[in-house]
Amino acid sequence: MMLVIEQPRSNVNGSDHPIFSGTGSSSPDGDEDALLIDVRTPAEYASGHVDGAVNLPLNRFVQEYAGVAPDKDRQIILYCQSGGRSGQAAQFLLQRNYKKVVNGISAGVVALQKNLPIRRL
């Protein structure tokens, strides 16, 4: 299951926190040109990553995200081991006005959703 993070909007209690859902305009399987970003460590990435994913560990994300993802309108699917680190990276991108950000949770979930193989280094 992938969590789609839609643009922040006021919810029932008036706060502007992102809405997490399983569907939406940023459907994980709706954009063939999506940028896949693995925010795990290089060792975790080497142990198995989605084919075509870029490794940008969370501890370097803030410094390097703009070079990896310059287009704020392109769909970006982030993943890690369990969704925690990719969720943090997704929140960071949304705060910088990226439009289509998806927390893909894990490599396995993204590979299944996108019908892509897992590669090992």
| Catalytic positions | 80
Q: For residue 52, is it left (φ>0), alpha (ψ between -120 and 50) or beta?
A: left
4-12, Cβ contacts within 8 angstroms, sequence gap of 24 or more = 4/28, 4/102, 4/103, 5/90, 5/91, 5/94, 5/101, 5/102, 5/103, 7/94, 7/99, 8/94
Cβ within 8 Å of residue 20, ≥6 positions away: 3, 4, 5, 103
Backbone angles phi, psi at 57, to 5 degrees: -55, 145
